[in-house]
Amino acid sequence: MTTTPDKVTAAVMIIGDEILSGRTQDTNLNHIAKYLGAHGVDLAEARVVPDVTEEIVTALNALRAKYDYVLTTGGIGPTHDDITADCVAEAFGVKLYEHPEILAMMSARWGGELTPARRRMARVPEGGELVKNPVAGPPGFMIGNVFVMAGVPQIMRGMLEDVGWRLKGGAVVLSRNVRVDGSGEGVIAEPLERVARAHPDMSLGSYPFFGPEGYGSNLVLRGRDAGELAATVDELVAALAAAGIGTITVDVPAEA
Amino acid sequence: MTTTPDKVTAAVMIIGDEILSGRTQDTNLNHIAKYLGAHGVDLAEARVVPDVTEEIVTALNALRAKYDYVLTTGGIGPTHDDITADCVAEAFGVKLYEHPEILAMMSARWGGELTPARRRMARVPEGGELVKNPVAGPPGFMIGNVFVMAGVPQIMRGMLEDVGWRLKGGAVVLSRNVRVDGSGEGVIAEPLERVARAHPDMSLGSYPFFGPEGYGSNLVLRGRDAGELAATVDELVAALAAAGIGTITVDVPAEA
pLDDT-derived band at A255 (thresholds 50, 70, 90) equals very low
User: Domain boundary residue among B137, B166, B195?
Assistant: B166
pLDDT at A256 over 80: no
Whether residue A177 contacts residue A233, with contact meaning beta carbons closer than 8 Å, is answered with no
Q: A255 in a domain, yes or no?
A: no
In a shared domain, residues B47 and B64 = yes
Distance from CA of B198 to the nearest CA of A (A): 13
Q: B2 in a domain, yes or no?
A: no
The CA distance from A136 to A115, in Å, is: 18
pLDDT, tens digit, 9 for 90 and up, residues A94-121: 999 999 999 998 888 887 778 888 899 9
Nearest CB to B189: which of A31, A117, A187?
Answer: A117
The interface residues of chain B toward chain A in range 62-81, judged by CB-CB distance below 8 A, are 77-81
Reference B146, options B75, B91, B82; nearest CA is: B91
User: Domain boundary residue among A103, A138, A166?
Assistant: A166
H helices of chain B, in order, are 17-20, 28-38, 53-66, 84-92, 100-110, 116-120, 153-160, 185-198, 226-242
Crossing angle of the two packed helices B153-160 and B28-38, in degrees rounded to 10: 10
What are φ and ψ of residue B6, in 5° steps?
Answer: -105, 20
**Residue A203: per-residue pLDDT:** 86
**Residue A253: per-residue pLDDT:** 54
Q: A110 in a domain, yes or no?
A: yes
Residues B23, A254: C-beta atoms closer than 8 Å: yes
Domain containing residue A192: CATH number: 3.30.70.2860
* Most confident residue range from A23-32, A113-122, A171-180, B135-144: A23-32
In a shared domain, residues B98 and B197 = no
Q: B236 in a domain, yes or no?
A: yes
The interface residues of chain B toward chain A in range 8-27, judged by CB-CB distance below 8 A, are 17-27
Whether residue B71 contacts residue B29, with contact meaning beta carbons closer than 8 Å, is answered with no
Residues B77, A185: C-beta atoms closer than 8 Å: yes
All residues of chain B having their beta carbon less than 8 Å from the beta carbon of residue A136 are 210
Sign of the Cα pseudo-torsion (B188, A131, A2, A219, in order):
positive
Nearest CB to A80: which of B31, B118, B193?
Answer: B193
Nearest CB to B46: which of A18, A44, A48?
Answer: A48
The helix/strand/coil state of B99 is coil
User: Does B179 reach chain A within 8 Å, measured CB to CB?
Assistant: no
User: Domain boundary residue among B99, B133, B166?
Assistant: B166
Domain count for chain A, please give it. Answer: 2
Whether residue B72 contacts residue B48, with contact meaning beta carbons closer than 8 Å, is answered with no
The CA distance from B68 to A244, in Å, is: 47
pLDDT, tens digit, 9 for 90 and up, residues A120-133: 999 999 999 999 98
Q: B256 in a domain, yes or no?
A: no
In a shared domain, residues A55 and A20 = yes
Whether residue A78 contacts residue B192, with contact meaning beta carbons closer than 8 Å, is answered with no
pLDDT at A177 over 60: yes
**Residue B131: per-residue pLDDT:** 95
**Residue A135: per-residue pLDDT:** 82
In a shared domain, residues B190 and B72 = no
Q: Among A1-5, A218-222, B143-147, B190-194, which stretch is predicted with the lowest mean pLDDT?
A: A1-5
Sheet holding A146-149, edge to edge: A129-131, A140-143, A146-149, A69-73, A8-15, A41-49, B41-49, B8-15, B69-73, B146-149, B140-143, B129-131
**DSSP line for A144-187:** TTEEEE-SSHHHHHHHHTTTGGGS---PPPEEEEEEEES--HHH
**Residue A215: per-residue pLDDT:** 84
pLDDT tens sequence for chain B (256 residues)? 444 456 899 999 999 999 999 999 999 999 999 999 988 999 999 999 999 999 999 999 999 999 999 999 999 999 988 999 999 999 999 999 999 999 998 888 887 778 888 899 999 999 999 999 888 789 999 999 999 999 999 899 989 989 998 998 777 778 899 999 988 888 899 999 999 999 988 888 887 777 667 788 889 898 889 999 999 999 999 999 999 887 899 987 544 3
**Residue B240: per-residue pLDDT:** 95
In a shared domain, residues B158 and B182 = no
In a shared domain, residues B190 and B91 = no
Reference A69, options A124, A140, A132, A9; nearest CA is: A9
**Residue B212: per-residue pLDDT:** 67
What are φ and ψ of residue B192, in 5° steps?
Answer: -60, -45
Residues A1, B55: C-beta atoms closer than 8 Å: yes
**Which of the pair, A75 or A251, is modelled with greater confidence?**
A75
In a shared domain, residues B83 and B195 = no
Residue to test with chain A: of B15, B23, B42, most A Cβ within 10 A:
B23
- Domain range spanning residue A216? 174-250
Query: What is the share, in percent, of chain A residues with pLDDT greater than 90?
Result: 64
**Residue B171: per-residue pLDDT:** 74
Domain containing residue B108: CATH number: 3.40.980.10
**Residue A210: per-residue pLDDT:** 73
Nearest CB to B192: which of A80, A192, A193?
Answer: A80
CB burial string B190-206: b at 16+ within 10 A, e below: bbbbebbeebeebbbbb
In a shared domain, residues A50 and A114 = yes
Q: B210 in a domain, yes or no?
A: yes
**Residue A4: per-residue pLDDT:** 47
Mean pLDDT for chain A overall: 90
In a shared domain, residues A132 and A194 = no
**Residue B150: per-residue pLDDT:** 96
- This model of the complex carries an ipTM of 0.80
pLDDT, tens digit, 9 for 90 and up, residues A56-108: 999 999 999 999 999 999 999 999 889 999 999 999 999 999 999 999 988 88
Nearest CB to A190: which of B19, B115, B173?
Answer: B115
Whether residue B245 contacts residue B187, with contact meaning beta carbons closer than 8 Å, is answered with yes
In a shared domain, residues B135 and B182 = no
All residues of chain B having their beta carbon less than 8 Å from the beta carbon of residue A113 are 186
pLDDT at A211 over 90: no
User: Does A40 reach chain B within 8 Å, measured CB to CB?
Assistant: no
In a shared domain, residues B98 and B193 = no
**Residue A212: per-residue pLDDT:** 67
Q: B255 in a domain, yes or no?
A: no
Residues B22, A34: C-beta atoms closer than 8 Å: yes
All residues of chain B having their beta carbon less than 8 Å from the beta carbon of residue A25 are 27, 30
The interface residues of chain A toward chain B in range 223-252, judged by CB-CB distance below 8 A, are none
In a shared domain, residues B127 and B25 = yes
Q: A221 in a domain, yes or no?
A: yes
For residue A31, the chain B residue with the least C-alpha distance is: B22
